[in-house]
Amino acid sequence: MKQEEILARLPYSPPFLFVDELLSIDENGCTGTYTYSPELDFYKGHFKDHPVTPGVILTETMAQIGLVCLGIFLTGEVASGSSSHVMLTSTAIDFVKPVFPGEKVTVIAEKVYFRFKKLHCNVQMQNKEGEVVCKGTISGMVTTKLNG
């Protein structure tokens, strides 16, 4: 399955799409990027005069790249004619550095297990300097249904 096919299957659209590109993906994990536009609405009030990307948005970015994209790949939905939905079930994220408007981040996800429709991954987000800005674990349930 090609990265473009996976991105086309994501159940998000702007302004809630936090994946620009997938750099790599296989049965063990994936890597992708996103650049936070300074025009995103949440920067207007978080924090006044010193905007910082909220932790919940960083977590969502890691979930979209490291859980949903990987879940679509692992279920092989493009080839099978089905569609996957990945529902976030748990997170444990440590935030180390702030992410500012205009920053490009890279998310690296490593599959811990995928069984009984549950996907569990170790994830980390890095800034353009390769510094870890947040890391942790993320899990979700993958459901599939046949299209047609």
Query: CA dihedral in degrees (126, 10, 2, 53; nearest 10)?
Result: -10
Within 8 A by CB and 6+ apart from 98, the residues are 52, 53, 133
117: alpha, beta or left? (left if phi > 0; alpha if psi -120 to 50) = left
Using alpha carbons only, what angle is made at residue 80 by residues 71 and 86, rounded to the nearest 5 degrees? 25
Catalytic residues: 46
d(CA 85, CA 57): 19
Q: Where do runs of H (alpha helix) occur along the chain?
A: 3-9, 55-63, 70-75, 77-80
